[in-house]
Amino acid sequence: MPLTPLGRGEYRETLTRLAVMLEILVDAEQAKLIAETETAVPVLDPNGKLIGHVVRVPKDKESPPPLTKEQIAEAEKRLGSEGPWYTTEQVMNHLHSLEL
């Protein structure tokens, strides 16, 4: 199955939505529970619907450092290129179509 590139504006809109940094503040008890678990913790909306997972940083690892100004500049430069651009879903579907 061939990949169909996204339109440049469509990719830019998707990247903009993904680039928004989101933080969720948990209370001390929740933080303790997350820190002590060995598995992903489900995150539920007020109706009990699964909306994601929280995975603790391994105890032997540190959080990755924030992006440098140079890395941000490089990402913005690449964003300005003509593409082609593909969604993760398109790439994964293409890769699965290549399996024997």
What are the sequence ranges of the domains in the chain? 8-98
Structure tokens at 49: 């619907």
pTM for this entry: 0.39
Which tens digit of pLDDT belongs to each residue from 34-90? 888 888 889 888 899 998 888 887 777 776 677 888 888 888 888 888 878 888 889
Residue type, 13: E
The rounded Cα 89 to chain-centroid distance in angstroms is 13
What's the confidence (pLDDT) of residue 1? 46
Rg of the Cα atoms in the chain = 18
- With tokens 């293409």, the residue in question is 94
Report the Cα–Cα distance between both ends of the chain, in Å, rounded. Answer: 14
Q: Three-class SS of residue 86?
A: coil
